[in-house]
């Protein structure tokens, strides 16, 4: 009765295959961007389409699996920066810098993560399904940051609601500024990090109005 051992071996073989396919998909996405076709990915992996579909269900499945790898990697790097033993402002700057360094190092990956090209659920459900459409990575980062805030910062009553709002807000700030910065590169990474941290540290409230017309 070799059933269990055989099944085991088969399972691990399937998992290894799955990893190979993911790596091939990775290469293609890195080369062709998020609109890489299933045909191209299959060709890169040296096989044909139906195998991909057997492993991942549909294109959304493959992309979700692919995104999870990168998201997990980025998330753990951010967690490390967020857990460093230093002052709050320093940690915030380190986290911003970690994120920006990551997207700077591999812009194609970043682009794929943020723009899965209308992945997953085609969801023929009409009506207002406006949730989930922005990249899942942003949502996840926002939720995680919200958790960190609620458990470390004293925000008084209603702190949980506000912490989640702040989590998503700060992540969005980081993302939008990073996206813009990555396009034109108008300044150094350090300056960007410092400016964003300044914004979070209330410099907008402290700054005086400029003469001529009402202030901001």
- State which of residues 12, 19, 33, 49 lies at the interface with DNA (CB under 7 A): 49
Closest contact distance (angstroms) between CB of 129 and DNA is 17
Angle at 180 between CA 177 and CA 183, to 5 degrees: 145
What single DSSP character describes residue 34?
Answer: T
C-beta of residue 110 within 8 angstroms of C-beta of residue 135: no
39 SS3 class: helix
For its own copies, the closer CB: 9 or 185: 185
Residue 80 makes contact with its own copies by CB under 8 A? no
CB burial string 77-100: b at 16+ within 10 A, e below: ebeebbeeeeeeeebbbbbbbbbb
For DNA, the closer CB: 10 or 161: 10
* Rg (the chain; Cα; Å): 22
Residue 39 makes contact with its own copies by CB under 8 A? no
Residues 6+ apart with CB under 8 A from 174: 96, 99, 100, 196
What residues numbered 26-45 form the site for DNA, per CB under 7 A?
Answer: 37-40
Residue 1 makes contact with DNA by CB under 7 A? yes
For its own copies, the closer CB: 19 or 133: 133
Closest contact distance (angstroms) between CB of 110 and DNA is 20
Angle at 93 between CA 89 and CA 94, to 5 degrees: 115
For its own copies, the closer CB: 48 or 161: 161
Closest contact distance (angstroms) between CB of 106 and DNA is 22
Residues that bind DNA (CB under 7 A): 1-3, 5-6, 10, 13-14, 17, 37-40, 46-51, 53-54, 58-60, 122
């Amino acid at each position: 009765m070799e059933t269990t051992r055989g099944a085991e071996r088969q399972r691990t073989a399937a998992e290894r295959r799955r990893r190979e396919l993911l790596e091939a998909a990775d290469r293609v996405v890195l080369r062709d961007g998020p609109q890489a076709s299933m045909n191209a990915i299959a060709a890169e992996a040296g096989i044909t389409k139906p195998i991909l579909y057997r492993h991942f269900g549909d294109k959304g499945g493959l992309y979700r699996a692919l995104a999870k790898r990168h998201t997990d990697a980025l998330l753990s790097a951010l967690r490390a920066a967020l857990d460093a033993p230093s002052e709050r402002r320093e940690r915030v700057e380190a986290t911003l810098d970690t994120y920006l360094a990551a997207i700077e190092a591999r812009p194609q990956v970043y682009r794929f993560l943020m723009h899965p090209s209308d992945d997953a659920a085609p969801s023929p459900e009409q009506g207002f399904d406006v949730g989930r459409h922005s990249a899942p990575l942003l949502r996840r980062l926002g939720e995680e940051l919200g958790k960190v805030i609620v458990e470390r910062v004293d925000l008084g009553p209603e702190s949980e609601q506000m912490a989640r709002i702040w989590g998503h807000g700060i992540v969005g700030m980081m993302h939008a500024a990073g996206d813009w910065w990555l396009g034109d590169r108008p300044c150094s990474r350090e300056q960007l990090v410092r400016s964003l941290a300044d914004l979070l540290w209330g410099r907008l409230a402290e700054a005086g109005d400029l003469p001529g017309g009402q202030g901001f």
